[in-house]
Amino acid sequence: MSTEHTTWVGGAQSVTHTGGGNIHVSLAAAAHDPRKPVFRQLPEDQLRWLRRVLVAPVNLGRVRTTLEETGTVILDGPPGSGRTATARVLLREHHRRVGAFRELLPDDQGELLLRDPSLVDPGDRLLLDLSGAEAGPWLTAQRDLPALRRTVHERRAHLVVVMPHDGVLEPDLQHYRVEIAPPAFPLEVLRRHLRAHGMPNEQFLRDDVTVDEFLSERRPMREIGDFADRIRRARESAGPGEEFSAWCAAAKRARAGRRVEVADRVTGLLEASQRALMIAVAMLHGAHADVVHQAAALLLSTVGSPEEETPLLQRKDLAQRLSEIAARSGPGCRVRFTELDYDSAVRAHFWDHMPDLRPHLGTWVARVVESNDPHLVPDVRDGLVARLAGEYLRTGRADALAALAEGWGAQGAGTARSEAAVQALTCGLADPVHGREFRERVYQWCVYRRLTGAFAQVLVQVCADVLALTHPDHALIRLHHLARRERGTAHALRALCDLVAGSRRLRRRLLDRLARGDLASADLAIFPHISDPALLTDRSVTTRALIDEEGVRRALVACWSATLTDAVSRPERERTALRTAIQRWLHWAAEGAGDRGEVLLDLLVDAADRCGDHRGSAFAVLYASARRAEWTAPSGGARSTDLTDLLLQKIGAAQGLGPGTPSASAGGRRS
């Protein structure tokens, strides 16, 4: 494996988690269909959101001008000044029909090096966030920046580097450095967020003592955004008659934390049913009352609590039971705690102070997601899994979360459990602390673990719709291993083809990866699917087709040579797939490749010429396939016949049996 590394947010491809809190991803039925790009619209939504809430930092105009004039800007500024948000918004402003928004992570194993020219595609918008880098990695990155800048300039891409504040910058890079400062009016930042949350102006354009107190201290931009989100959530859960000041006060109380308050209340709850209901509300916060009631009963049975012996009509009703735990059922029968962020404090309390409960919670969540309650919609189910995953990750138990996800996706798991496994792994991959560990674990599963059909499908979904966003090169490698190993299905192969379909860079890398590998039978089965001649000769994005690149041609010759060698050593009846692949190349060479048609022929002949002892048989297969292609040509056989004659001349020349290859102009006259 090469030691290369990147993160991208492709033209709209998947899940990104850039702040604190839970991450909720709705997979629905697409979890068992890897062809559906479930997450691929989310990043563009996030970039639009950043654009809506960003208040221009000091010096934004100079940053924008430097990026426009040079294609590169190195962004400096104190922590909390909005450096990363500014970088993302600026790159979004340079959105074009070609290229993708990608975040580069050079310190991650498995991504391309910054100085590697294949890292950049035309029109790419690249973010290199090194704001938290230590001195060593920052100096290493600076050594590679000139080469990266050169490639960015040549390919008309754009690069924003966020440097460590007060870090040492090489003199020849100082020209690209611009320092920003936080907006002069933090109240405007808060109001911009509230406006973006849909709150009417008249509700927040008034003085409020809580807001004044909060903003009296210098706050990072992210903290201001988090406080605005708490105000928004307080408004949504507020009782009748409450106004802006009450929402702000609730946000302030929630920000202070509720751990002590929750601990005192739990101490007073002596019945198992009370605590089960409290846990169910915390894990299913905002879910329908029927779902919460059923989940509480399932939790009691999961932990082995005896059934209640009180006659049904003498038991407390749900409204009374909810009031005992400071919760209530609101509009639409949605159950919530009466205090903001009480649910997260409850989850943390039981997780931290009742460790013996943790294994039961995994079993319980699996039982809940499999229940058939009509109110258990995908968002609720995914939120439940995300909250459980959040506790594993908060307490550094990434291994246990991975094992739980693997168990959920094991042989015989139903759709609901498989979707839960995808959701759990999504949370792990999105976690800023444990994401790298989960990427490595997914790699180990894809390469070495004996996979069941159900869990293999979980991994395909995770790689195609989650990892492909943040680490497309990682997704490529893992899907390649899955495609090589799958039997009886083609889910991983389809996902691999979909991944490279939208990226010349990834197609180039996969071809190179195949050519440099051992080209076993599994790889030879993959090669025809990722060597579509129409895409190899396409020049709609740039004037240079992939097939014009020396490295691509070298990889194609190596793969075709191995394919021909393998096929001619097999019985005639087993050569159907080979003939189909060759005929596709010949049809495109005759009908759609234009002046690149002869290049396609040259690559086939060169590959056959390198087949060693099978060289003659390989030439024979090419010629026989060309003759068959004449009968199946899309627009008649005249061009195909001429192409066959040209192919025969090239084969003769390769064998030293005739004159040199006709010139391109002569070939054009014959057509």
> In which order are the strands placed within the sheet that holds 177-179?
7-9, 101-104, 125-129, 158-162, 72-76, 177-179
| Burial of 197 per CB tally in 10 Å (0-12, 13-18, 19+) | middle
Three-state secondary-structure class, residue 101: strand
Three-state secondary-structure class, residue 219: coil
Q: Tokens 């920052």, residue?
A: 138
Residues of the chain below pLDDT 70: 1-43, 107-110, 411-412, 635-637, 658-671
Q: How far is CA 180 from CA 83, 126, 134, 393, in A?
A: 8, 19, 21, 34
pLDDT at 637: 65
Q: Which two tokens stand for residue 309?
A: 């012996």
Q: What is the DSSP letter of 305?
A: P
Q: Indicate the domain borders of the chain.
A: 56-179, 186-256, 259-338+341-376, 510-671
Asked if 407 contacts 401 with a C-beta cutoff of 8 angstroms, the reply is no
pLDDT at 108: 66
What global pTM score does this model have?
A: 0.83
Contacts of 556 (CB under 8 A, 6+ apart): 511, 515, 531, 536, 547, 603, 607
Per-residue pLDDT tens digits for 476-500:
999 999 999 998 889 999 999 999 9
Q: How far apart, in whole angstroms, are the C-alpha atoms of residue 64 and residue 93?
A: 10
β-strands 101-104, 7-9: how paired? antiparallel
Q: What is the DSSP letter of 208?
A: -
Q: How far apart, in whole angstroms, are the C-alpha atoms of residue 104 and residue 130?
A: 10
Q: How far is CA 335 from CA 292, 325, 390, in A?
A: 8, 12, 21
Q: How far is CA 597 from CA 203, 591, 609, in A?
A: 67, 8, 19
**56-179 CATH:** 3.40.50.300
Asked if 49 contacts 92 with a C-beta cutoff of 8 angstroms, the reply is no
Per-residue pLDDT tens digits for 222-266:
999 999 999 999 988 887 778 899 999 999 999 888 888 899 999
pLDDT at 76: 95
pLDDT at 32: 38
Q: Which two tokens stand for residue 346?
A: 């409850």
Backbone angles phi, psi at 102, to 5 degrees: -140, 140
pLDDT at 119: 85
Q: Which long-range contacts (CB under 8 A, 24 or more apart) does 213-216 make?
A: 213/252, 214/252, 215/186, 215/187, 215/190
